Structure 1
Amino acid sequence: MNRKRQIGGTCMREACREVEDIMEQGADAYEKANLRDYAALLYWQAQRRPQQRALIVDERAFTYAELWRRVAGMAAMAMALGVRGDVLVAADTFVDQLTAFLALQAVRVRPILLHHGLSAEEVQSILKENGLQGIWHCSREGAPFFEPSGLAERVHEEPDVLGVLSSGSTGTPKVLYRTYRSWAGFFPVQDEVFHVRESTVLFLQGSLSFTGNTNSLLSVLYEGGTVVTSALLRCHLWEALLRRHAVDCIYLVPSKLQLLGQALKEPVTGVRTIFTGSQLLTPSMLRRLKTFFPQAEILLYYGASELNYITYAICDDPDRDSRNLGRPFPGIAVEIGADGLIYVTTPYHISGVTMPFSVKDTGTINARGELIFSGRRAAWINKGGFKISTLRLELILKAVPGVEDAAVLPLREERRGDGAAAFLVATREASPAEIRRAVRRSLLPVEVPDAIVFLPELPLNDRGKVDRHQLECALERARGHEKRKMQNGLTRDGEAHIIKPSTQAISDAKDMAAEDTSYREEHDC
């Protein structure tokens, strides 16, 4: 790494003027759908509605003009420091994430927002393996600074304006690049479906490194609306913001919608739209949302970072099939390949991929043209020749009396073969022993998880998704706890953190499955 670059005040004024000149070069000559990047979009809106509120973060509000001034100031700093190429953004706060994301675009730099909680070693791996030019740091204290990598810039074949990180579930996250049009070109379509318009006040929460948050925020700015958020994972504060600012649209992943629904005591009647994705909505969650948001249309979408929005469903009936992700958005084609994977054809995708494209999700299409989601191919378990969907297990476990929430991970172990670990959050009145018995009654013997771990709550990452790494750590701790109890002769029914199905139950699974046609149809694919 080279030395950190910082800037004094001597050349800031000239840099600020240059940033304004860049923005004025043609910004007024184009419609917002044809702008160069999202910094130009903010500038375009700031010229037309300077006093309109663009962003509210807890107690602090920014008009379009104020937000642009923040962006222009940081862009001037980046320009004076000679920042170029593809750059990681390490920012502590939501406002700094957004400001840096737009400021770097203003000076022709492609920003890539880092997830919170990554180690220094992980950040360096992302930097080096993706050939990035450095890190733009925005801490709570002190001025932003640039940490160059010394790596040469790569040539982009497309007019890319930003990068996003892949999940990194199988190694170092890869940077996926997008053009302005790959998102903005679809805003008119998605905003029509989600009822986003100039008057919209949308609430979202979480890191902008989650592309769902970034895309939703930019879609509101595209229309000239207002985004409301909170820096804190405290639902009573969210409720206060919803009521105080007359929020009429909510975008949260299902795990956060569940937290909000559990915290509410009185209905919020001003919300007209709730849209969500990345996870499924259970019947109990839908019922609670409909109770506390009685005027809201609830939409569940299917999308992917590599692509964009793919399908959506309007969730009117709480007892609907939770795996039903609806029909394709206008202009998007979906098909199921011979390999059982979902293939999508869309013009709104990351750079460098060809259509049709699959993110290795599996599913089917029913007679009504609706996508029935079966989960990631990597999340299927082959247990003694039986294919088991962890997604299906999660949905069944969430419906077990006494279970408030559930997650299932596949286990790949050399000695034991494939299996499943279930992580359950019990309601206050339920006991682990009762839940274990209910789990056995609800599942076929072969489906019973090899390990069940009870947790006070499911751990979430900064994108609002279940943190798989923390679950794996919880499993190891629980196994160690059980081993110590067994060594001390203390393990009794109802005490163990982990249970396993009996050997006889597993050996009888083939006979039982042969008698159960619905199971055979579900898993023989």
Structure 2
Amino acid sequence: MHEGMRRQDVQVAKGCLHDYAALLRWQAAWQPQKVFLVADEEKLTYDALWRRVTAMAVEASFLGVRGDILVLADDFIGQLVSFLALQAIGARPILLHHGMASEEVRAVQRENGLQGIWRCAGASHLFEPSGLAERAHGEADVLGVLSSGSTGTPKVMYRTYASWAGFFPVQDDIFRVCADTVMFLHGSLSFTGNMNSLLSVLYEGGTVVTSGLMRCRHWEDLMRCHGVNCLYLVPTKLHLLGRAMHEPYAGVSTIFTGSQLLTPDMLRQLQAVFPVARILLYYGASELNYITYAVCDDPERDSANLGRPFPGIGVSIGADGLIYVTTPYHVSGIEIPFSVKDTGSLNERGELIFGGRREAWINKGGVKISTVHLELALKALPGIADAVVLPVCDARRGDTAAAFLVPEDGAERSLIRHMVRHAIKPVEVPDVIVLLPHLPLNDRGKIDRTALHRILGTLQKAARAGCDSDAKCEEKT
């Protein structure tokens, strides 16, 4: 159908589409028998995926689905087919995170004025209309994404097709995503990083490989079996994969990652396991898009350095110390320049040095401490495999810090505590140290900070009750 079209003509054609269902239909007409998705043992060609989408779209239309719809699907394929099918009938899908309680889901629906919930469990589909009137959209929005919801009910933010697809030619050139790309990613499509990456591969006509299992050895088998040449995983999952790999894999030419920082040890590990890979660390936000990127070829580089802005993106630091971004690729209804309340600075080369979220800074006795820099300092200590630092508000003593540390295999717990006390500045020493076998992750692959706060609350409650068992509570430093 598209034989003889020049690359530039193809880019223009894809840019003129109105949603991602139309993009899939376009690719299915171009290359129907090419495999688009491998999910463990299941393979879907572009044509097979389009047929599933059209079948679900007919069913959703018959059930009266319209407006802004929450999508709750059991698995990756269910999320993807629902996401595309609802767009195909003009609805705006909003993928829910896995593990949300029923009352949380209802609160998201009620407080955002949504028209219903689409439930997908295998071949079973159910639509629960809310009865709420459909809202008017000032822009040509085709999908919604959820805010983090860290301070209350998650807010739905909407996107046009162009707000992501318009930037694909830029990001795909930097990340080296093309028609020959076979990208491995993992986790829920409610994580905008996963969804954006998958859609960028759809845009280019490549292949995505994923798994519903949290088994790194299985991921390795999938990668080798299907010739994966590009990885998109958050640093925590990259670290787990690198530790589990049987032997180096030279098939991966590009790794791009974000949402967390890459430590020197992580970089050295990735370079050893993926010896020819170009490793890129990006800075982005759900409200915006990709903002800056750095090529990480030197393990001794500053881990907080997030590189220079992507072409066409403006970055500045306000008088309040916050990062402000000027970009046309953002969610609908926000004013530009926009800040997600991250702090940072620009060095003499125009590179962004990340300082962390404003609320993640600790004011300890008048001394301001960045949890980001404290985490990096702790991760650099021998015997510590991973670390997260949370600010803790104490009405009696002021702000304090709680450190959650994952010891390396064989590391002595008492030695780790001693090392932490003496290797960093006294004012930076966390008031509470909790040693864990691993850090809890949410369905997006990010550190589950809510779970860490829950662990901390349990330990503090046990400590107040007089617990002195190391198995139940960690001693204060």
- Length-normalised TM-score, structure 2: 0.96
CA distance in 1, matches of 2:461, 2:360: 25
Contact 1:268 1:294 in 2 (8 A): yes
2:247 equivalent to 1:271: no
Pairwise CA distance, 1:483: 4.2
The equivalent residue for 1:5 is none
**Equivalent residue runs for 1:102-251 within 5 Å:** 102-140=84-122, 142-251=123-232
Partner of residue 44, structure 1 = 26
Contact (CA 8 Å) 1:450, 1:499: kept in 2 or not? no
Q: 2: CA distance between counterparts of 1:30 and 1:375?
A: 38
Q: Does 1:61 align with 2:43?
A: yes
SS at match of 1:417: coil
Q: Could you list the runs of 4 or more consecutive aligned residues of structure 1 that deviate by over 4 angstroms after TM superposition?
A: 483-486
Partner residue in 2 for 1:522: none
* 2:311 is aligned with 1:350: no
Q: CA deviation at 1:450?
A: 1.1
Is 1:363 matched with 2:365?
no
Equivalents in 1 of 2:399, 2:203: separation in Å? 47
User: 2:449 — aligned with what?
Assistant: 468
State the shift of 1:469 in Å.
Answer: 1.1
Instruction: Indicate conservation of the 8 Å contact 1:454/1:497, yes or no.
Output: no
- The answer to whether residue 475 in structure 2 is matched with residue 499 in structure 1 is yes
Equivalent residues in 2 for 1:407-426, closer than 5 Å: 407-426=388-407
Q: Deviations over 1:238-262 (max 9, x none)?
A: 0001100010000000010011011
Aligned partners of 1:362 and 1:373 also within 8 Å: yes
Partner of 2:424: 443
Select which of 72, 78, 91 maps to 2:73: 91
SS in structure 1 of the partner of residue 124 of structure 2: coil
Q: 5+ unaligned residues in a row in structure 2: which ranges?
A: 1-9
| Aligned-CA RMSD value | 1.4
State the shift of 1:481 in Å. 3.9
Shift of 1:81: 1.1
Q: How far did 1:63 drift?
A: 0.3
Shift of 1:130: 0.1
| Alignment check: 8 A CA contact 1:89 1:137 kept | yes
Measure, in 2, the Cα distance between the counterparts of 1:30 and 1:312.
26
Secondary structure, aligned partner of 1:40:
helix
**Cα distance in 1 for residues equivalent to 2:356 and 2:159:** 25
Distance 1:373 1:30 in 2: 36
Partner Cα separation in structure 2 for residue 496 and residue 137 of structure 1: 39
Over the matched positions of the two proteins, sequence identity in percent amounts to: 66
Q: Partner amino acid for 1:314?
A: V
1:222-245 alpha-carbon deviations (Å, 9 max, x no partner):
000000000001001100011000
Give how far 1:400 is off: 1.2
Specify the code of the residue in structure 1 equivalent to 2:334.
V
CA shift digits 1:473-492 (9 cap, x unpaired): 11122224444555xxx56x
Who wins on radius of gyration, i.e. which is larger? 1
Contact between 1:452 and 1:497, CA under 8 Å: does it hold in 2? no
Q: Which residue of 2 aligns with 1:77?
A: 59
CA distance in structure 2 between the partners assigned to 1:247 and 1:401 by the alignment? 33
Aligned equivalents of 1:301 and 1:361: distance in 2? 14
1:512-523, aligned counterparts within 5 Å?
A: none
Cα deviation, residue 500, structure 1? 3.0
- SS of aligned partner of 1:144: strand
Letter matched to residue 449 of structure 1: P
Residue matched to 2:4: none
Q: CA deviation at 1:437?
A: 0.8
Give the Cα–Cα distance (whole angstroms) in 2 for the partners of residues 127 and 438 of structure 1: 48
Map of 1:34 onto structure 2: 16
**Contact map agreement 1:201 1:248 (CA 8 A) in 2:** yes
Name 1:477's counterpart in structure 2. Answer: 458
Note if contact 1:88-1:111 (Cα within 8 Å) is conserved in structure 2.
yes
Q: How far apart are the structure 2 equivalents of 1:293 and 1:485?
A: 49
Q: Do the aligned residues in 2 keep the contact of 1:71 with 1:100 (CA within 8 Å)?
A: yes
1:360 and 1:146 map into 2 onto residues whose CA distance is: 37
Residue deviations 1:253-274 (CA, integer Å, cap 9, x gap): 0010011011012001100000
In 2 relative to 1, CA 113–316 (structure 1 residues): closer, same or farther, beyond 3 Å? Answer: same
Task: Report the AA paired with residue 39 of structure 2.
Answer: V
Preserved contact between residue 57 and residue 230 of structure 1 (Cα < 8 Å): yes
User: In the aligned structure 2, how far is the partner of 1:496 from the partner of 1:253?
Assistant: 30
Could you tell me how far 1:498 is from its partner in structure 2? 2.6
TM-superposed CA distance for 1:397, in Å, is 0.7
How far apart in 2 are the matches of 1:350 and 1:482? Answer: 45
Q: Distance in 1 between matches of 2:223 and 2:322?
A: 39
CA deviation digits over 1:20-59, x for unaligned, max 9?
xxxxxxxx99701110100000000000000011100011
Match of 1:434?
415
1:497 to partner: Cα distance: 3.8
Runs (5+) with no aligned partner, structure 1: 1-27, 502-525
Name the CA shift for 1:364/1:29 in 2 (closer, same or farther; >3 Å). closer
**Displacement after TM superposition at 1:298 (Å):** 0.2
| 1:125-173 deviation digits (Å, cap 9, x = unpaired) | 0000000000000013x52110000000100000000000000001000
SS in 1 for 2:393: strand
Aligned counterpart in structure 1 of residue 386 of structure 2, from 367, 385, 405: 405
